[in-house]
Structure 1
């Protein structure tokens, strides 16, 4: 059984709130419909009553204006004669009573089909003493009401004047049967609304349960997910919206899992790379003897430790640069004359080391990019090429513009990149199997190159054959990415 907290959670759940809203809407709609139907039925009832009273008034008017006394064959000379003929010829309808007053006294009363045996005394006195003059506005008699033991009755009074006599013709209707039919209809309507509410509530519970099923699965999956376990996924159903939500959520989990996996790999690689310099530094420092501070061994140890600490500083600097890639201000784009830019780079690179430096192609055209970040990437590529070529080797720089992008490459005639290493050459802390033994470095240079290319909306490519050199290329869009804002055009 659910405890108090369980019931509280169930009452606050979206499933319950949707169901209650649905039920409330049905009840409100049913109630408004019932009220509207009741009002329409009452209006129609009153309209029929008015028409029935009007019909009786027309009958008595025809007698007084066009009728003749059957005893004499001449027009009527008194209201009593008119009333006598009328009551002989007409029988009141069901729940209708007709009364005739002459000279202030009751002359005839037809109450045989009226729901009550006699009218209230006050009402009869009012009929007898009434001197009000009723007019038929728009052809319809004025209708008044009085209370009875079986509900409210409707009545109309028609003044009648014939010759020198006057009287009043009264038609009263007490619609007990019709009111009971309206009440029964309301009862049946309420029962029908209740049945609809129960049936609709059950259907709504099932439908909302199915509709909210993916939401519950999403909640349960999110509850089971932690940073160490991102393997749970939501089953993809057949419902279009639910399937789209599940696919979107699963795609987000795939991206998160990839991010966390790279983060773990990065932490492991960083700790491994930093552990080496720390171990070397601490190991050498523990071997120092304060009494031997003047000996060459002391100075060489200090130099070694300093070198390792500087290497750690470079690693930390490279890591900081990679972390800054996601910052919106990482790039500062400007208009660049590609030909002049490549010529400047060629001068800068030639000072790195004594190699055969060559420019394959200066390129031509105006591009939009971050000059300093591209320079940093190219210097990283050139430094990598220098370390993998002999003194007599060739390192070349080139650029060209093709369509909506431009390419900037560094080519060398060194040993090339082994085929097994090529798919991972741009990963952090990834170097060739023997590269870490032959060349110092953090293994972050090519990762920085790729990060700069991707920050521009481009990519980094490698073409290499073992023993035949390698060509690293930056492929960058010529125009600014969305969100970049340029200042004044440069004079390049």
Structure 2
């Protein structure tokens, strides 16, 4: 009882730790974190770019305003300007006075005039403390002798200016138009702070919505997990409903198809174990029974030994066939070489004639070459020929042949025995399928399964045509390759053959 309680507590603790792990490190959390980081990165970059663009535009506007003031000042200083008639007395002082009276500076803009190194007048009259008389900017501008554009930085302010010197005789004057963008910089920073606050608010709301949306998106993944946990070896019938046509739907379809394949594989495995157990149980029972009843009579012992040997040989053939079918799933099942079709057909006919007293006929011989495993093809055709002898009587006709058509080579075995019912034509290629046409064939029922495995390993197939009266025709269809392609592309052909074999195996399962 104590052990059971301890186990339950450990399971509860494990589940709780898994839940916490899923909350902090699950797919939903990781997707949301990536989403938030991406949005935050985008917001930071966007805000930095917006701020820089506003500063650049402010700089361009200031430069344009200063340039406009300088151009208007230069126009007043020209000798052919009609406004010069309003000038009187000292020409430079009159020019400065007329210009300042007629022009109103923009916000944060001020115009300063200097004559012979001394402050003269300004607009507006009340100047900031950092550009008053005897300040560093005033002393610097008083010494300018050429038109100049630049920046002056004081302790707390940056001044953008354009200076235009003017000389008349011994009088030297300087006209300066300047702006201090500190106020507009402050306005830009305030606007950027508002953008940052709004961005954080949007990011928070988007994160909450993202958490909900991602939770809905990962619902199929949770269903996959729950379905996988609920599946046991005896229950493969569950499937997940498919909604939509996105990647999640494709994953769901693939998972459902995998379940179907696994169900088919387990059913095949179960049937294989049952059939193999039955096939092996019979000879083992026979051997055990005869050995238990074995007496001292020499003749009886000899008969028992022969019977036991025969049963052991049958078990050995059965095990070898099973190993062959298992090896057919491996890429190295075939030993591919260039095979001359006509010569192979004649050899198959010569070997088949030794299987029984039948009316053996060679109907056609194809001319050409093929990339194939000669021994496996021989094994497949001999299985078909042996199968034909088991379902025909002495003297019955059995025909063999080969033909090249539509890029394939076809090897067939045709007999005149009893036909195969349509309901049995697919079943007979399954493992341990025996007893069609009202007769029970010898062996374990693996011959046609081996033939089909050899055909599919070559990238081909096995075809069956049968009529109730007139016998059956089994045709092995193998893709054909030209000889020059064989010699230059044989490794690539092996790779494509393995890929084709895997696809056919998945389709068959």
Conservation of the 8 A alpha-carbon contact between 2:419 and 2:471: yes
> Is 1:364–1:401's contact at 8 Å kept on the other side of the alignment?
yes
Q: Name the counterpart of 2:340.
A: 336
Confirm or deny that 1:146 pairs with 2:147.
no
Which residue does 1:185 correspond to in 2?
191
Partner of 1:401: 403
Higher helix share: 2
Q: Which residue of 2 aligns with 1:127?
A: 138
Change (3 A) 1:234 1:5: closer
**Matches of 1:175 and 1:321 in 2, distance apart?**
89
Aligned 1:43-442 pairs, distance under 5 A: 43-66=56-79, 76-77=89-90, 79-111=92-124, 116=128, 118-119=129-130, 124-128=135-139, 132-133=143-144, 135-136=146-147, 141-147=148-154, 151-202=157-208, 204-205=210-211, 208-209=214-215, 212-225=218-231, 227-288=233-294, 292=296, 295-331=298-334, 332-338=336-342, 341-353=344-356, 355-359=357-361, 361-366=363-368, 368=370, 369-390=372-393, 392-399=394-401, 401=403, 403-404=405-406, 405-413=409-417, 421-432=424-435, 435=439, 440-442=442-444
Q: Does residue 471 of structure 2 align to residue 454 of structure 1? A: no
Aligned-partner Cα distance in 1 for 2:313–2:168: 131
Q: Deviations over 1:218-253 (max 9, x none)?
A: 454445445544323232222254444433443333
Aligned-partner Cα distance in 2 for 1:69–1:455: 104
Structure 1 runs (4+) deviating above 6 angstroms are 67-74, 120-123
Q: Which residue of 46, 50, 64 corresponds with 1:37?
A: 50
Report the Cα offset of residue 323 of structure 1: 1.7
Q: Structure 1, residues 147-176: CA drift from partner, whole Å, max 9, x if none? A: 466x54434444343332334434332345
**Within 2, Cα distance between the matches of 1:283 and 1:71?**
140
Checking the alignment, whether the CA contact within 8 Å between 1:157 and 1:171 is kept in structure 2 is yes
TM-score, normalised by the number of residues in structure 1: 0.79
419-428 or 269-278: bigger deviation: 419-428
* Number of residue pairs the alignment of both structures matches: 468
Q: Any conservation in 1 of the 2:400–2:412 contact (CA below 8 Å)?
A: yes
Show structure 1 runs of 5+ residues with no match: none
Alpha-carbon contact 1:359-1:397 (below 8 Å) kept: yes
8 Å CA contact retained: 2:400, 2:414: yes
Q: CA deviation at 1:397?
A: 1.9
Q: Is the 8 A contact 2:380 2:451 kept in 1?
A: yes
Is the radius of gyration larger for structure 1 or structure 2?
A: 1
Which of 38, 44, 69 aligns to 1:25? It is 38
Note closer, same or farther for the CA distance 1:64–1:373 as it changes in structure 2 (3 Å cut). Answer: closer
Report if aligned partners of 2:75, 2:81 keep a CA contact under 8 Å in 1: no
Q: Which moved more, 1:93-102 or 1:221-230?
A: 221-230
Residues 130/225 of structure 1: CA separation in 2 closer, same or farther (3 Å cut): same
Classify the secondary structure of the residue corresponding to 2:331: coil
Structure 2 spans left out of the alignment, 5+ residues: 1-14, 491-509
1:42-96: CA deviation from partner (whole Å, max 9, x where unpaired): 2222233333334444455455554999999776536444444444444443323
Determine helix, strand or coil for the equivalent of 1:312: helix
Compared CA separation, residues 287 and 40, structure 1 to 2 (3 A): same
CA deviations 1:453-475 (Å, max 9, x no partner) are 3333021425253xx57424123
Residue range with higher mean Cα deviation, 93-102 or 309-318: 93-102
Q: Structure 2 vs 1, CA of residues 359 and 61 (structure 1 numbering), >3 Å: closer, same or farther? A: closer
Q: Distance in 1 between matches of 2:420 and 2:113?
A: 123
